[in-house]
Amino acid sequence: MKTTSRLMTVLAIGVAGTAVLAGCSGGGGASDDEVTLKWWAPNLMPTIAQDEEYYKTLTDKFTEETGIKVETQVNAWADYYNKILGAISSGEGPDVMASGTTWVSTLTPSGGFMQFDDASLEAIGGADQFTQTAWDAAGGQNEGGTSMIPWVAGVTTMFYNTKLFEEAGITEAPTTWTEFLDDAKKLTVDKDGDGTIDQWGFGYPAGFAQEWSHTMFAFGEQNGTAFFDEDGNPTLNGEGMVDAADQFLQLMTTDKVLNPASAELQGMSDVQQQFINGEVAIMFGSGSNTSFDDAGFTDYAAAQIVLNDPLAGEAVTTHIAGVDMGIFAESKHQEQALEFMKFLVREDTQIDMAKNIKGILPVNSAAAADPDVSSDPVFKVNTEILANTAAGFPDNLLTGQAETLIGDALKTLAAQAATQGAVSRADIQAVLDEANSQLEASQ
């Protein structure tokens, strides 16, 4: 009995000890002479597997040139913001991190990313290699230096089905809202005569809060209201925002060119699939042509998103989307990280990326001007959009919150439009007022 009890005691100590040690593990890696950089890369292709395959070609080339190894981790966008948050708050993260352009104004003040001074800018090839809009959007004008370097830029484009346009007798893509409404109505048909509409003029993920925030940014500006006023105070409930929300919700309620069932769509991929299937004729998307090409769908063309007529505010059709890169402040390999960044923004790498990743625009101005790259029609359209009607998300500490709140507000309104068939201006004003007061309360 005594020996059994003693044996049990030893076992118990052993188990307890192992449990504690197991819990305390992590972060004890031995330092090698060989440096391996950790890179959190974005999801730019239709599938993560494709991203991994392509990024490997980039990192292999980099390793060949410099001998520095890179461990890549491709992240889906869904929870990526939270992942970055986790890295910043714990101090444990990669060396080089991708970030969405709309998160820059929220992440920069956290101090989680290394700020670039003249020396480090030189180390990556200088700020002049970038296109001005991309550079500004990444925080190039920040006091104390930017925390992010632009990597790829993107814009939201209007895609339309060329075959369906032909069938409806439409010869040109619409450029104004009036033309767009006209065309969408012509394209909303009951093809098989069973009483239900099976082809809708316009497709939109009305349950996807993030997409709503992008649309409201652009069309709010077109109607004369931005997320914040000049003093940085929230204006989510400004008249221009109400107008913008009204015009889009009417697509579902009065114009009836948008399927009410869209209120349940929570992602772009659903709408892209509808577009490929010929169920919708026009859609707004960023880089959707990659998915179309992937699916072997070719009856599409791209154009700039329409402008309101008359235009009450600014001629903005899209925010400047894209991916920026930052060096994690806690990184122990900042020198090597800078070298990797230099490689990523170099002209030849950017040209290679533009060729392989459809739907994005290079931020390196020389690469953008390269004839080889710019022959793709969608690329041409996007470059023009970026130059003419794209605007960066506001540089305000509350931008991230504004994005969430306006997106959720429109998601709620779209649900109301779908279930009740009508949304009044008063309803819209009420919901936007609430969103705005929540934003004010977060200050």
Partner 1 sequence: MATLTVQPPLNPLEDPEHFFPKRRKKRNLLPYLLILPAAIAELLIHIIPMALGVYISFVQLNQVSIRNWLAAPFVGFANYVNGLNPAGAIGAEFFETLARTIIYTVLTVGISWSLGTAAAYFLTSRFRGQAVIRMFFLVPYAVPAFVGIIAWAFMFNQQDGLINTVLVDQLHLLQEGPFWLVGPLSFFVLVIVSVWGIWPFAFLLQLAALQTVPHEVHEAASIDGAGRWRTFWGVTLPMIRASNVVLLLLMFLATFNQFNVPFVLFGVSSPKEAQLISPLIYQFSFGTWNFGLGSAVSALLLAFLVIVTAIYVRLVMPKEKSSRA
Binding region for partner 1 (CB under 8 A): 5, 8-9, 12-13, 15-16, 19-20, 23, 82, 85, 88-89, 91, 106-107, 109-112, 207, 209, 259-261, 263-264, 266, 329, 397, 400-401, 404-405, 408, 411-412, 414-416, 418-420, 434, 437-438, 440-442
Q: How far is the CB of 61 from partner 1 (least distance, A)?
A: 34
Query: Residue 172 or residue 194: which is nearer to partner 1 going by CB?
Result: 194
Query: Residue 62 or residue 328: which is nearer to partner 1 going by CB?
Result: 328
Query: Residue 265 or residue 341: which is nearer to partner 1 going by CB?
Result: 265
Q: How far is the CB of 222 from partner 1 (least distance, A)?
A: 25
Query: Residue 382 or residue 399: which is nearer to partner 1 going by CB?
Result: 399
Query: Residue 109 or residue 377: which is nearer to partner 1 going by CB?
Result: 109
Structure tokens at 163: 């075959």
CA distance 79 to 92: 17
Q: Tell me if 70 sits within 8 A of 339, measured CB to CB.
A: no
CA distance 348 to 339: 15
Q: How far is the CB of 19 from partner 1 (least distance, A)?
A: 4
Q: How far is the CB of 124 from partner 1 (least distance, A)?
A: 23
Cα separations in angstroms, 5 against 8, 17, 39, 91: 5, 18, 51, 44
Q: How far is the CB of 292 from partner 1 (least distance, A)?
A: 22
Query: How would you class 314 by CB atoms within 10 Å of its CB: exposed for 0-12, middle for 13-18, buried for 19 or more?
Result: middle
Name residue 100's beta-bridge partners. Answer: 323
Q: How far is the CB of 402 from partner 1 (least distance, A)?
A: 9
Cα–Cα nearest to 137, from 116, 115, 154: 154
Query: Residue 65 or residue 440: which is nearer to partner 1 going by CB?
Result: 440
Q: How far is the CB of 213 from partner 1 (least distance, A)?
A: 12
Query: Residue 52 or residue 330: which is nearer to partner 1 going by CB?
Result: 330
Q: How far is the CB of 208 from partner 1 (least distance, A)?
A: 9
Could you give phi then psi for residue 176, rounded to 5 degrees? -115, 165
Task: Give Dmax (Cα) for the chain.
Answer: 95
CA distance 379 to 244: 28
Q: Tell me if 341 sits within 8 A of 126, measured CB to CB.
A: no
Query: Residue 338 or residue 414: which is nearer to partner 1 going by CB?
Result: 414
